[in-house]
Amino acid sequence: MKIRTVIFAGVAASSLALLSACASSATDAQTTGTPTTAPTVAPTPENLTLKVSTPVARSGDATALATGIDPGVNCAISYRTPSGVASTAKGLEPQTASARGSASWLWNIGPSTTPGEGLVTVQCGEETATAPIVIT
């Protein structure tokens, strides 16, 4: 049996309680010889999560980290500046998700970039995640 551990803020404790209840039921069945029915738990799909460094000063480096990706999946990133222009900055090249299920990018915000809120979008396989990035 393969067990995939996924931790989301606030969910880990309830997941542990569910696992503990399942283990307790299994132990009761072994101790008493009475079969018990364990609850059915649907497999948790991977969920693409995107974290972006923000705020970033003009001429500074921006970073993005995508997690929750199946290893080996191809990921593309796009960054729209606050003025709505699609950036072609070095560092925004496609990445392949690592064995740990993550991909990361590092790029420089140009000195003439208009301050304000831009948008970073990552697509890995069929999943897409978007996050704002503030340029100061």
C-alpha closest to that of 46 among 85, 103, 1: 103
Are 88 and 61 members of one domain?
A: yes
24: phi then psi, degrees, rounded to nearest 5:
-65, -40
Q: What is the pLDDT of residue 4?
A: 32
Provide the whole-model pTM. 0.66
Are 101 and 129 members of one domain?
A: yes
pLDDT, one tens digit per residue, over 2-27 is 333 333 233 333 333 333 344 444 44
Are 80 and 22 members of one domain?
A: no
Are 57 and 100 members of one domain?
A: yes
pLDDT, one tens digit per residue, over 85-106 is 999 999 999 999 999 999 999 9
pLDDT, one tens digit per residue, over 15-74 is 333 333 444 444 444 444 544 444 443 334 469 999 999 999 999 999 999 999 999 999
53: domain CATH number is 2.60.40.3880
Specify the number of domains making up the chain: 2
Q: What is the pLDDT of residue 119?
A: 98
Are 34 and 53 members of one domain?
A: no
The residue segments making up the domain with residue 104 are 49-135
